[in-house]
């Protein structure tokens, strides 16, 4: 028997990278050919140094089968740099999507608050119109209020986001990296969202006639 003619010369200590080796016996290729009639190994695993995977995957077929490299099929793990870049792109896309949804919800909230403010201040609008305020003054008033809400939301959001980044980086002994345009651009974007959201309520307030506004406000 083959088992009587062979001796165990070692035991694999760690099989975390390939669990299937737990119940496997490793032998030289020559022994496998002689004892079991192995024509050719079906799978060869090559362990490389860090960063040499792509180079070895290109050179292995020619080194193992110089006459016909196409006979070998090489399956190499992805480049860690490309994999990290792909993960970062996916995360950025996810955060952009979440940010877009948050902006939409914020815009709807500002529009609702401004519209409710217009409906509750119909009497004030009629009084101002009767005292000589033009439509543009009424429109500018509510546009300014909605823009102020958006600006305040942008400032608060940028401040909280910057604070979270600093706290998380400090707790993990990382160096916080933040683009300089984020703290400045967030309030401006919030103000723009507030301006756009308050356009309809402001136009509706400006379209009220003084007499009808005073009658509805009493």
> What's the pLDDT score for residue 40?
67
Overall pTM surpassing 0.95 (yes/no): no
Q: How far apart are CA 218 and CA 216, in angstroms?
A: 6
Contact predicate 197/108, CB 8 Å: yes
pLDDT tens readout for residues 189-215: 999 999 999 999 999 999 888 877 777
Instruction: Give the chain's domain count.
Output: 1
> What's the pLDDT score for residue 38?
74
Domain that holds residue 150: 80-217
> Token pair of 40, please?
């050719």
> What's the pLDDT score for residue 218?
60
Q: Name the stretches of the chain with pLDDT < 70.
A: 1-6, 17, 40-42, 51, 217-218
> What's the pLDDT score for residue 5?
52
Q: Helices (H), strands (E): how many in the chain? A: 9, 0
Does residue 184 fall inside a structural domain? yes
Alpha carbon dihedral 86, 87, 90, 93, in 10-degree steps, equals -100
pLDDT tens readout for residues 120-148: 988 888 888 888 888 999 999 999 999 99
Contact predicate 50/77, CB 8 Å: no
Q: Which residues touch 6 (CB under 8 Å, ≥6 apart)?
A: 27, 31
């Amino acid at each position: 028997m083959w088992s009587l003619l062979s001796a165990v010369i070692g035991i694999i200590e760690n099989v975390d990278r390939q669990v299937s080796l737990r119940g496997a016996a490793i032998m030289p290729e020559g022994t496998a050919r002689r004892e079991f009639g192995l024509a050719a190994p079906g799978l060869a695993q090559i362990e490389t140094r860090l960063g040499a995977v792509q180079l070895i995957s290109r050179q292995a077929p020619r080194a193992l089968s110089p006459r016909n490299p196409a006979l070998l099929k090489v399956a190499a793990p992805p480049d860690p740099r490309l994999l990290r870049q792909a993960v970062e792109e996916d995360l950025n896309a996810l955060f952009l999507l979440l940010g877009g949804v948050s902006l939409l919800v914020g815009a709807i909230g500002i529009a609702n608050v401004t519209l409710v403010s217009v409906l509750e201040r119909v009497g004030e609008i009629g009084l101002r119109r009767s005292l000589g305020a033009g439509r543009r003054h009424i429109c500018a008033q509510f546009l300014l209020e909605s823009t102020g809400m958006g600006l305040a939301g942008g400032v608060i959001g940028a401040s909280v986001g910057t604070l979270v980044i600093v706290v998380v980086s400090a707790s993990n002994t990382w160096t916080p990296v933040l683009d300089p345009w984020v703290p400045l651009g967030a309030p401006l974007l919030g103000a723009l969202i507030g301006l756009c959201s308050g356009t309809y309520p402001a136009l509706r307030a400006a379209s009220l006639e003084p007499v009808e506004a005073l009658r509805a406000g009493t």
